[in-house]
């Protein structure tokens, strides 16, 4: 095993002192991570103290601003050169991190004033998942995930990090499988040392957001499990805010569990990608919360997070962060965002109406959905992958197959008036495949 740097040892001791359960959750890689006192650390010190000349960071300065080209600058309006061309800190712009935490508290009142870490900027959600994995997932670690999940989890946590995903049923009747989650946590599959759970609400691929009572029950199940072993709850909140009916919970589970138990560490991953409709900006956040967490603990976790970022991508793009911050500060932002959410809510309404039309009852069953970008149907009598290929080749319709039975349809990317045609083509495709089967 690689030797552990004294700075990492110091961070580990701090975490052990303030939250032994978090220390137990760290992976071998997480134990080794630290933020070096190299170029970035020394440059940050110089930025504060070098009042005459700053000859540290490797960027070019001209007349007090980062050197830049007019052919590039003309494409930016309203941003200063220092908001575009300079390197961002490994943890992201401080003012953006503070603004995002304030937004998080506004949108999840159950979080209250619970002490949580300042969010760290990631290169959107996928990078945030990888960073969380670096800190907490080692070879052979089991991750409990509902059986309908984003396929990239396997690449991140199994292929890249050597973990092992085990599933439990996503649904119980028309709601989330809380009993199955509780049974999986109690079943010993995670090992005695720690338990890791990934929960993605609203869900990709199902588009389901638990109801408030289900959120409470999920929180209770996690706290109950923490009584047996330290629990890491990774919350993938990529589609947060996109709620399409009045029964769905409108707060993140993070608010319920961030200060629920001294042995339950909540790691929230969210970002501007879907919330602000800026998919290519790649601006996400990772935030930590645990009961009794304080500045020393969170500073240590943030230092390890910064080390994971510095050791992979160095830092995240500054222009995206600057624009996201400006948007959050814009008085028209909330109204504009809510108008776009309204469009998606109307598309979801039409999609649900079409998917539940009795004329399609013999072709598929619709899984409950109420949020996000997608719905998922269980097709009857044909293979979902064969159907996907047939719809693409014969009808020019793109969908996603998930396993042998499930087909994901993204109503988010289809205009409202075209949604009925999408379901009519899926129905036609199923009938055509059935006909070839005799």
Calpha distance 434→437 (Å, rounded): 5
Segments in the chain below pLDDT 50? none
Neighbours of 330 (CB within 10 A): 11
Neighbour tally for 119: CB within 10 Å:
27
In the chain, pLDDT over 70 holds for what percent of residues?
94
Give 292-349 pLDDT, tens digit per residue: 999 999 999 999 999 999 999 999 999 999 999 999 999 999 999 999 999 999 999 9
Cα gap 298→313, rounded to integer Å: 22
Q: Work out the mean pLDDT of the chain and round it to a whole number.
A: 94
Q: Can you list the pairs that 163-167 forms with residues at least 24 positions away whose Cβ atoms lie under 8 Å?
A: 163/133, 163/137, 163/138, 163/139, 163/196, 164/140, 166/142
pLDDT score of 59: 83
- CATH topology classification for 334-436: 3.90.1150
Task: State pTM to two decimals.
Answer: 0.94
> What does the pLDDT read at residue 46?
59
Confidence (pLDDT) at 191: 53
CATH number for the segment(s) 6-35+90-329 = 3.40.640.10
Nearest-angstrom CA–CA distance, 424 and 33: 53
Instruction: Break the chain into its structural domains and give their ranges.
Output: 6-35+90-329, 334-436
> Which residues are CB-contacts of 4 (< 8 A; sequence separation ≥ 6)?
12, 31, 32
Whether 26 and 12 have beta carbons less than 8 Å apart is answered as yes
């Amino acid at each position: 095993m690689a030797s552990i740097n004294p700075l990492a040892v110091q961070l580990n001791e701090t975490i052990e002192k303030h939250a032994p359960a978090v220390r137990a959750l760290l992976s071998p890689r997480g134990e080794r991570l630290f933020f070096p006192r190299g170029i970035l650390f020394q440059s940050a010190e110089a930025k504060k103290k070098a009042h005459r000349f700053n000859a540290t960071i490797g960027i070019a300065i001209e007349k007090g601003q980062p050197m830049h080209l007019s052919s590039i600058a003309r494409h930016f309006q309203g941003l200063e050169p220092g908001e575009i061309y300079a390197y961002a800190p490994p943890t992201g712009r401080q003012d953006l991190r503070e603004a995002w935490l304030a937004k998080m508290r506004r949108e999840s009142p159950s979080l209250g004033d619970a002490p949580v870490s300042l969010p760290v900027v990631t290169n959107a959600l996928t990078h945030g998942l990888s960073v969380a994995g670096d800190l907490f997932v080692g070879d052979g670690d089991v991750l409990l995930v509902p059986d309908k999940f984003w396929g990239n989890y396997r690449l991140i946590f199994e292929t890249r990090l050597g973990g092992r995903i085990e599933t439990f049923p996503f649904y119980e009747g028309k709601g989330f499988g809380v009993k199955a989650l509780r049974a999986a946590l109690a079943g010993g599959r995670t090992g005695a040392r720690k338990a890791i759970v990934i929960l993605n609400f609203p869900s990709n691929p199902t588009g389901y957001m638990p109801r408030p009572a289900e959120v409470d029950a999920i929180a209770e199940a996690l706290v109950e499990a923490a009584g047996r072993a330290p629990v890491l709850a990774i919350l993938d909140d990529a589609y947060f805010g996109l709620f399409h009916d009045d029964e769905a919970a409108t707060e993140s589970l993070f608010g319920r569990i961030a200060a629920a138990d001294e042995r339950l560490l909540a790691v929230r991953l969210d970002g501007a990608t879907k919330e602000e409709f800026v998919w290519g900006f790649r601006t996400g956040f990772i935030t930590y919360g645990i009961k009794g967490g304080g500045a020393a603990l969170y500073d240590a976790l943030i230092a390890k997070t910064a080390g994971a970022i510095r050791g992979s991508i160095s830092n995240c793009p500054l222009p995206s962060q600057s624009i996201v911050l400006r948007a959050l500060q814009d008085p028209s932002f909330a109204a504009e965002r809510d108008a776009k959410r309204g469009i998606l809510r109307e598309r979801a309404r039409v999609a649900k109406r079409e998917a539940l039309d009795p004329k399609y009852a013999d072709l598929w069953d619709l899984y409950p959905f109420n949020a996000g970008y997608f719905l998922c149907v269980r097709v009857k009598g044909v293979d979902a992958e064969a159907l996907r290929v047939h719809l693409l080749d014969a009808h020019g319709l793109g969908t996603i197959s998930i396993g042998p039975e499930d087909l994901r349809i993204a109503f988010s990317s289809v205009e409202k008036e075209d949604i009925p045609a999408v379901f009519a083509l899926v129905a036609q495709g199923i009938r055509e495949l059935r006909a070839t089967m005799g």
